[in-house]
Amino acid sequence: MAKKAWYSITVNAQADRPVVEIRIYGEIGFWGTTAEAFVAELDAAAAGGADILVSLNSPGGDVFDAFAIYNALLRYASRVTTRVDGVAASAASLIAMAGKPTIMPENTQMMIHNAWIITGGTAEDLRTTAEMMDRIRDGVVAAYSRKSGLDSDRIIEMMDATTWMSALEAQALGFCDLIEEPVRLQMSDSAAAVLQKHKNLPDDVKAMLKSLEEDEPEPTPDPKPEPAPAPAPPADVPTASALAARVYAFCRQEGIADLAEGVLLSGALDSLELADQRVTQAKEIAGICLAAKLPEKAAGFVSAGLTVDQARARLFERVVADAGDPINNRPPTNSSAPKQSGPNPLAIYAKRKALSAT
């Protein structure tokens, strides 16, 4: 089975400053490759202080993976540029929000809407899933609002309506910072198939999809392709509702029910075992935050996917910053040590006077 079908990460070291070039050109989280692998590759490539360029041409995908990628890119702050090479729809638009700046060529499109999911189970399972989706929307709204400056009510209105934006519209609303010259639009067949399922497709996107169909080459007569290998069986990945139920139940058991949302938003939860590990890690993070008298930091650390060591380092930086006085590693001056006394002129004069009187 193909690996990394929806993204690639390379390092261009020929420039004066190295650039990590990331291409997300498919359905996010597809082909069994999750954000966990993506983030590991990103951290390894960007470790040397390189700038990061994220090129997007995606119909969307797994919102949990998109959240994990968004949070990972935020850790690199002003080093990240995001660029829409065709369409940044659904979960892909969330990743675009991590750019400083976000660039869109004039003929590209961005789309935001409410996340949706296919699930099943008992009534309680469905209620848990609905609660999880509401919390996910809150996080997405916060990301869009953080980038655009629009208030939450306006963002929610746009998401409810499934809003498509041209580059000019996105810039006017604050979702895009810079507009470039038009580019030739391309998209894979699988990504185009997903894109066609979205509501309210604008005419420009419909025209792009039609041109892709027209540009498809005629098949070669009497082809004799090599037989394709049988696809590997899909991994036994639990449903989102099963993961959510497991996380909420375990968090309540461990006394950290308020961190369940953060665990789910940390992304790349593709097994119940990994979900259990994240909850255990969240409990440790909550403990060190409480010890540092900063319990309010725990939720943010957990949702950002920080490890216990990374959270401890962030707390140390905060405690040092709050202390105010700079750290001085030089030994202290002992001001109470006795000073060596020199000759006392008054004592010498008195002694001479006494001797002369005898």
Q: Are 35 and 6 in contact (CB under 8 A)?
A: no
Which CATH number covers residue 38? 3.90.226.10
pLDDT of residue 315: 83
Average pLDDT over residues 198-215: 66
Decide if 358 is inside a domain: no
Task: Give the pLDDT band (50/70/90) at residue 158.
Answer: very high
Given CA atoms 14, 108, 173, 73 in this order, what sign does their dihedral have?
A: negative
Out of 182, 215, 248, pick the residue that ends a domain: 215
- pLDDT band of residue 131 (cuts 50, 70, 90) is confident
The answer to whether residue 340 sits within a structural domain is no
Instruction: Note whether residue 351 is domain-resident.
Output: no
pLDDT in tens, 94-117: 999 999 999 999 989 999 998 876
> pTM of the predicted model, to two decimals?
0.60
CA distance linking residue 184 with residue 215, whole number of Å:
13
On the question of pLDDT at 145 being above 60, the answer is: yes
Shared domain check, 183 and 57: yes
**Is 149's pLDDT higher than 90?**
yes
- Which stretch of 51-55, 67-71, 203-207 has the lowest confidence by average pLDDT? 203-207
Q: Look at residue 2 in the predicted model and tell me its pLDDT.
A: 42
DSSP 28: B
Q: Which two tokens stand for residue 326?
A: 């700079």
Res 331: pLDDT: 54
User: 282 and 179, same structural domain?
Assistant: no
Measured distance CA(49)–CA(77) in Å, rounded: 12
Q: Are residues 92 and 209 in the same domain?
A: yes
Q: Between the CA of residue 316 and those of 287, 307, 329, what are the distances in Å?
A: 14, 14, 17
Specify the pLDDT at position 329.
47
Do the domain assignments include residue 347? Answer: no
Q: Catalytic residues, which ones? A: 90, 113
**In which domain, by residue range, is 25 found?**
7-215
In the prediction, which pLDDT does 219 show?
Answer: 52
Mean pLDDT throughout 44-68? 89
Mean pLDDT, residues 249-257: 90
Average pLDDT for 151-173: 95
User: Does residue 205 carry a pLDDT above 80?
Assistant: no
Residue 306 lies in a domain: yes
Identify the residue whose tokens are 């990945």.
237
> Are 210 and 252 found together in one domain?
no
66 and 170, same structural domain? yes
Which of 192-196, 205-209, 263-267, 332-336 is most confident?
Answer: 263-267
What's the pLDDT tens digit per position in 15-54? 677 899 999 998 888 765 678 888 889 999 988 788 999 9
Q: How many domains does the chain have?
A: 2
DSSP, res 26: S
Helix H or strand E encompassing 20: strand 19-24
Residues 97 and 203 in one domain: yes
Averaged pLDDT for residues 231-248: 68
25 and 122 both lie in a single domain = yes
What one-character-per-residue DSSP string does 322-351 give? Answer: HH-SPP--SPPP-TTSPPPP---HHHHHHH
Compute the C-alpha angle 307/313/319, nearest 5°.
Answer: 135
Q: For residue 25, is it within any domain?
A: yes
Residues 6+ apart with CB under 8 A from 90: 59, 60, 61, 63, 111, 112, 113, 115, 198
315 and 210 within one domain: no
Q: Tell me which H or E stretch contains 308.
A: helix 308-323
Reply yes or no: is the peptide bond before residue 101 cis, omega within 30 of 0.
yes
- Return the higher-pLDDT residue of 255 and 239: 255
In a domain, 230, yes or no: no
- Please check whether residues 244 and 185 belong to one and the same domain: no
Q: Higher-confidence residue: 263 or 202?
A: 263
Task: Check: CB of residue 113 under 8 Å from CB of residue 162.
Answer: yes
Q: What is the pLDDT of residue 321?
A: 72
pLDDT on residue 194: 58
Mean predicted lDDT score pLDDT of the chain: 80
293-305 residue pLDDT tens: 889 989 888 888 8
Residue 241: Cβ within 10 Å count: 23
Q: Are 52 and 99 in contact (CB under 8 A)?
A: no
- Class of residue 294 by CB neighbours under 10 A (exposed 0-12, middle 13-18, buried 19+): middle
More confident residue, 321 or 213: 321
Task: Report if residue 169 sits inside a domain.
Answer: yes
Query: For position 233, what pLDDT does the model report?
Result: 46
- 164 & 36 share domain: yes
Residue 139 shares a structural domain with residue 270: no
Residues 86 and 166 in one domain: yes
